[in-house]
Amino acid sequence: MKVSQGVEWTLHCVTLLALAPGGVPVRREQLAGHYGLPEAYLAKHLQAATKAGILRATPGPKGGYQLGRPAADITVLDVVEAIEGSARPFICQEIRQQGTGALPPESCERQCQINVVMNNADNAWRSSLRATTVADIAGGLPDEIVERNKKLLAR
């Protein structure tokens, strides 16, 4: 169980973009520099977020990244799934149907109990992530930090 750092990077970038005055585009280089991240690799994650509709990318001069929709409509889960995919973390291999103790298919119409438990936990995790939006995170920042970031983005 491990959440990739790309999720952290993208969450920070998306939150920062939510503070951009007037939602003006921010260049990739500026985003990477703001958090001291490798621009080339960050690009991959921003691309994924763009493909998912979380971000909107504008090419050319004056271009850059903006939020793809209002910050209040972007949940943390949206970002996580954009970067990590939406596959379940536990995939039942149906080993109950293998080996000398293999159960016949007719005994396996119902899902494996273990699979149910693991999926329930995954649902709880996702529900928790879905309950918070990027607007919530941005709104929870102290005013001084918001002002500081806005000032940096304005340059």
Question: Which residues here bind a second copy, judged by CB under 8 A?
Answer: 1-3, 5, 7-9, 11-12, 15-16, 32-37, 76, 80, 84, 89-90, 92-93, 95-96, 98-103, 107, 113-114, 117-118, 120-129, 132, 137, 140-142, 144-145, 148-149, 152
For 32, what's the count of Cα atoms within 13 Å in the CB-facing half-sphere?
14
Q: Which residues pair with 26 in a beta bridge?
A: 65
Cα separation, 118 vs 110, in Å, equals 15
- Residue 152 binding partner per list DNA, a second copy, none, with a CB distance cut-off of 5 to 8 Å that depends on partner kind: a second copy
When asked if residue 62 is in the footprint of DNA (CB under 7 A), the reply is yes
Per CB under 7 A, the list member of 35, 41, 108, 148 interacting with DNA is: 41
Interface with DNA: number of residues (CB under 7 A): 26
With 0-12 / 13-18 / 19 or more C-beta atoms within 10 angstroms meaning exposed / middle / buried, residue 146 is middle
Extract the tokens encoding 136: 């919530």
When asked if residue 137 is in the footprint of DNA (CB under 7 A), the reply is no
Cα separation, 133 vs 112, in Å, equals 34
Query: Which residues of this chain interact with DNA, rule CB under 7 A?
Result: 2, 4-6, 27-29, 38, 40-41, 43-44, 46-47, 50-51, 57-65, 84
